[in-house]
Structure 1
Amino acid sequence: MAASAGAAVSVIETQELTKRYRGGRPAVDRLSLTVPEGAVFGFLGPNGSGKTTTIRMLMGLIDPTGGTARVLGHPMPRAARTVLPQVGALIEGPALYGFLSGRDNLLRFDAADPTADPRTRRARVARALDRVGLTPAAAKKAKAYSLGMKQRLGLAAALLQPRRLLVLDEPTNGLDPQGMREIRTLVRELASDGTTVFLSSHLLDEIEQVCTHAAVMAQGRLLTQGPVAELAAGARGRLTVTTPDPADARHVLKEHGITVLAAEGERVTAEPPPPETDLADLTAALVAAGVRVRGFGVERASLEDAFVALTGEGFDVAG
């Protein structure tokens, strides 16, 4: 179906998508998801939330129990032969031939692509290795690669051909901080070139840094989706007081009906005060009680704040 003039184009769109395994609750329950063209879309959720099951249905690896999924405008899994050549994917870690070198693994992957021109195969492989920083290790056997190097090689395989859509499941798993920065930079470059990136990650900070849009799943259901800035803005920030008198500060905040979340060293963190509270009056109350205030303010809400508010889960939500 052609998009009307001026309408946003959806690269991924699901309606009531459901996957139910025999004898259990749905792994994915009536998911209606929209991924706009050109987005870097973060897919978040705690263990068992249905993220990987959703990705496997989108890629045609498993059939849904109900609902529909469209990828690049085509129904999946029915149109897999049309869709998948336009999609690069790294799902649940790369499947590699350990006895082959990194370069030879990519040559095998490229040879399996019926759309790949064999005359330019080595040039494509060299370019993909360079993009993920593996050129120096190209001749090393894959079984000798670290987990991070294997992730890079899997990403290189997904980048052998120009792709309209790149689907990445935990792409920075096993990478050191420098490698994570390089992958984030690569994702931004791909997006600027027009590739839509669908990124599953348990690193909320990573999603906030690199993604333009995000969705949050819990127990198989979609809790929210939209631009990252709007999701964070919808959460409440935190009040912080820096003082050498944390016990007194806690007492004053509680007297004003403010819930104290934590006190570590000289930093007291609390729920934000009610909207009608005058922050100047609150500061004056702290000072009047003898609290030596070295810092005071309401921090902007982060994506982590929004995630915790929605799911009740802590920061580590791998799965």
Structure 2
Amino acid sequence: MTGAPPQGPAAPDDVIRTSGLTKRFRGGQLAVDGLDLAVPRGSVFGFLGPNGSGKTTTIRMLMGLIAPTSGVATVLGSPMPQSIGSVLPRVGALIEGPALYGYLSGRDNLARFDAADPTSDPRTRALRVTGALERVGLTAAAGKKARAYSLGMKQRLGLASALLQPRELLVLDEPTNGLDPQGMREIRSLVREVAAEGTTVFLSSHLLDEIEQVCTHAAVMSKGRLVVQGTVTELAARAQGRLVVRTPDVALAAEVLGGRQVTDLRTDQARVDGVTGTLGDDELPKLCAALVEAGVRVHGFGVERGTLEDAFVALTGEGFDVAG
């Protein structure tokens, strides 16, 4: 795992690859700073960072919507934006929310999007539209005007437009924006389904929980720069596990655990948390016994593995929305 992939031509298994990708807007605002990114073919790649970290700007450069100030981007083996005409028909994308015709129904919006695709067969358009509506749970609302859709329904319709045809690459920018918890679960399930069919998914999100649940690989952005990239397992492993003791005797438990060199103690009325650090498995039973011997009423004792949230805070010193 590294903050920068090897330089040189894109590897056959890299669906997306950037080198020194930079975007500076008028006025000097540096939105993306020297990004080196490698997205393996077949992965569900989470592009993670707080709002304003440069994620959407990066995606717009990858899709040829804006030109980089410097650096290069390769998508599906071709440079962007130079190859936009040959690359985009192989990509499904939902960027910065769907652009819908409010006066058309959901079904008619999808038919319009499909008709704009030069690779689509008009003879099978109705079948594709119906299938896409079913996949995102909008069949019952297919005849309703898009202007009457809720934010979540519009997001679903935008996702349906990206799924009208099988694509080599699916690019999703905050796909669960505006969805309730049930809708989020459904979209995550759909992402897994699309990936299982062989499509590489590039998913931008500020929700750590979302990335951890559906992604195989991830990259962390902060203030326009790439902090780290690798598999989700590797990223989470950067965070230390946490020893959790649930007890009404918080002060006494903290004293005992502190004496056993467990650091970063945080206390509240119900539990004591301590970072396990280098504690071995054989030391955990000794810690539990020490608590009992000291008269601590132990209601719960165990180790929670490190999470992406822990890793992100450790890497950047900042946190962001981790709700899912």
TM-score, normalised on structure 2? 0.91
Shift of 1:256: 3.6
What secondary structure is seen at the aligned counterpart in 1 of 2:240? coil
Of 284, 293, 304, the residue aligned with 1:299 is 304
Matches within 5 A, 1:265-284: 265-275=269-279, 278-284=283-289
Separation in structure 1 between the aligned mates of residue 109 and residue 132 of structure 2, nearest angstrom: 12
Q: Offset of 1:253 from its aligned partner?
A: 2.6
Instruction: Look up the SS of the partner of 2:101 in the other structure.
Output: coil
Residue in 2 that maps onto 1:91: 95
Contact 1:260 1:268 in 2 (8 A): no
**Aligned residue in 2 for 1:226:** 230
Residue identity in the other structure for 1:95: A
Return 15-24 or 280-289, whichever deviates more.
280-289
- Give, in whole Å, the separation in 1 of the partners of 2:170 and 2:295: 57
| Preserved CA contact (<8 Å) 2:243 2:275 | yes
Partner of 1:70: 74
Q: Which amino acid aligns with 1:9?
A: D
Letter in 2 for 1:246: V
Q: Secondary structure at the match of 2:288?
A: helix
- Secondary structure of the residue that 2:79 maps to in structure 1? strand
Q: Which residue of 1 aligns with 2:159?
A: 155
Partner secondary structure for residue 74 of structure 2: strand
Letter in 2 for 1:291: V
Residue of structure 2 in register with 1:43 after alignment:
47
2:316 matches 1:311? yes
Where does the alignment leave 5 or more consecutive residues of structure 2 unmatched? Answer: 1-7
1:46 to partner: Cα distance = 1.4
Q: How far has the Cα of 1:251 moved from its partner?
A: 2.4
User: Within 5 Å, which residues of 2 pair with 1:204-223?
Assistant: 204-223=208-227
CA contact (8 A) 1:253 1:260 kept: no
Match of 1:122 in 2: 126
Tell me which residue corresponds to 2:178.
174
Task: Give the whole-Å Cα distance in 2 for the aligned partners of 1:245 and 1:122.
Answer: 65
Q: Name the residue aligned to 2:195.
A: 191
- Deviation string 1:245-288 (CA, Å, 9 cap, x unpaired) is 11211222334443345334322112224447933333333233
CA distance in 1, matches of 2:9, 2:38: 16
Question: What SS does structure 1 have at the residue aligned with 2:188?
Answer: helix
Aligned length: 315
The answer to whether the Cα contact below 8 Å between 2:309 and 2:322 also exists between their aligned partners in 1 is no
1:248 maps to: 252
1:4-153 aligned at under 5 Å gives the runs: 9-153=13-157
Distance 1:2 1:278, change over 3 A: closer
> Alpha-carbon deviation of 1:21?
2.0
Q: Over aligned residue pairs, what C-alpha RMSD do you find?
A: 2.0
Aligned-partner SS, 1:33: strand
Displacement, 1:145? 0.6
Q: Distance in 2 between matches of 1:237 and 1:47?
A: 27
Deviation at 1:212, TM superposition (A): 0.6
Tell me, what secondary structure is at the counterpart of 1:171? Answer: coil
| CA deviation vs aligned residue, 1:44-96 (integer Å, no higher than 9, x gap) | 01132111110010000111111110000000000000000110110111011
Report the more deviating stretch, 87-96 or 258-267: 258-267
TM-score by length of 1: 0.93
Contact 1:237–1:305 (Cα < 8 Å) also in 2? no
The question of 1:238 aligning with 2:242 is answered yes
- Secondary structure at 2:130's aligned position in 1? helix
SS where residue 306 of structure 1 aligns?
A: helix
In the TM superposition, what is the alpha-carbon distance from 1:18 to its structure 2 partner? 0.8
**CA distance in 1 between partners of 2:277 and 2:124 (Å):** 62
8 Å CA contact retained: 2:106, 2:145: yes
The amino acid of 1:37's aligned partner reads R
Structure 1 stretches lacking a partner, 5+ long: none
Worse-matched range after superposition: 104-113 or 33-42: 104-113
- After alignment, is 215-224 or 265-274 more displaced? 265-274
**1-structure distance, mates of 2:289, 2:12:** 50
CA–CA separation in structure 2 for the residues paired with 1:264 and 1:317? 21
